[in-house]
Structure 1
């Protein structure tokens, strides 16, 4: 299978690229620079890089890159800097998800393309009863108003949940919600739940980036696991 990857040079994205390659999958990664993936190019013939910013690629170019892919993975995020948090593009993730879905539909694939989106445990799945403490709900509203990246992540997942839904002919999706991300060097035990088991804003858990990458790679390549979570927003925590 060929996977189209966006956000592949980020801290989590490059780990997902590695995980997919280790599983023998072919990866096309849309990148502005090869930083973080350049070493893999010398040793991994299944990796190809497409240079450019996804926000600047035309719809026709995106459609060409999606053609023949059985899956799309997004680990896009905003840079942790003042410009990255508050500067343009404000809807980086949402616009990318929307345009990639449109590119997939343009080809009318014979079987649904799998779309895995890295999201956040701070976002609520509105298909489920996910009760939140009053203070959490208040803080979430403030974050959506004050921090554009949080609002962008919420909108991206909402696009998949409401505009693609669970019965789309051409696209199936999963939005993976890690809690507070941290760096680890090896995959460790982790647990996956349909909904958060703690407040991401008041009692955050921990999720290592490599565990997120491992779970997303399994989702995209293991039929039973994909069928278990498709159309849902699983939350992943490192096991205590």
Structure 2
């Protein structure tokens, strides 16, 4: 089994790569700077590294990256700097998801490819009938208008929902929505829910990045877990 991970040099993507390699999986990554990776990763024989900017790669180059992959994971996100939040590309995540999915379609895979998108608890899954309070609706609307990365996350999930329903057989997807992200060295107890059990604005919980990485690796490796969550947007919270 081979998984392509984009955003692999980020805080969560790096943890996912480590967990997949630790379980004997083959992993391909696209990173803009190889130097940002620790030597323990770069020296792993099961890891294939491509140094490039994903949005600048040609269609043919992207097709080669996704060819033969059973799963593709986007852990991409905007840097928390002024340029990262408001500079170009404002649709980094959406653009990457669209290009990767187009490349997957062109490979005409014999079995559906798993696509996992790391998203956010602030993204309301309206298609699943999720409701939020009026106050939260107003605040999220302001965030959407003022902070381009939030709109980007919403559009990326919407693209998967709109284009890859249960009837097509090319791509199956899961959009993983962690709550407020924190760092922790070890995997701990966590819970996954189909819809929010707390307000992302007024009662936000905590989610360890390593727990998010663990959940995504479980989705990739275990078919029964994937079948439970495919075409959904599960929320991940650390256990109490």
Q: Determine the C-alpha separation between the residues in 2 that align with 1:79 and 1:219.
A: 26
Task: Report the equivalent of 2:197.
Answer: 197
Contact 1:29 1:49 in 2 (8 A): yes
Q: Determine the C-alpha separation between the residues in 1 that align with 2:43 and 2:156.
A: 34
Task: Report the equivalent of 1:170.
Answer: 170
Q: Deviations over 1:54-100 (max 9, x none)?
A: 01001111001111111101100000000000000000000000000
Task: Report the equivalent of 1:154.
Answer: 154
Task: Report the equivalent of 1:56.
Answer: 56
Structure 1 residue 166 displacement after superposition: 2.2
Q: Determine the C-alpha separation between the residues in 2 that align with 1:104 and 1:42.
A: 26
Q: Determine the C-alpha separation between the residues in 2 that align with 1:41 and 1:161.
A: 33
Task: Report the equivalent of 2:40.
Answer: 40
Q: Determine the C-alpha separation between the residues in 2 that align with 1:43 and 1:108.
A: 32
Contact 2:120 2:179 in 1 (8 A): yes
SS in 1 for 2:177: strand
User: How high is the TM-score relative to the length of structure 1?
Assistant: 0.98
SS in 1 for 2:124: coil
Contact 1:9 1:35 in 2 (8 A): no
Q: Determine the C-alpha separation between the residues in 2 that align with 1:225 and 1:113.
A: 15
SS in 2 for 1:93: helix
Structure 1: tracts of 5 or more residues without a match: none
SS in 2 for 1:114: strand
1:133 aligns with 2:147: no
Structure 1 residue 43 displacement after superposition: 4.0
Structure 1 residue 200 displacement after superposition: 0.6
> How do 1:8-27 residues align onto structure 2 when only pairs under 5 Å count?
8-27=8-27
Task: Report the equivalent of 1:119.
Answer: 119
Contact 2:18 2:41 in 1 (8 A): no
Aligned residues: 240
Structure 1 residue 35 displacement after superposition: 4.1
Contact 1:41 1:48 in 2 (8 A): no
> How do 1:62-77 residues align onto structure 2 when only pairs under 5 Å count?
62-77=62-77
SS in 1 for 2:154: helix
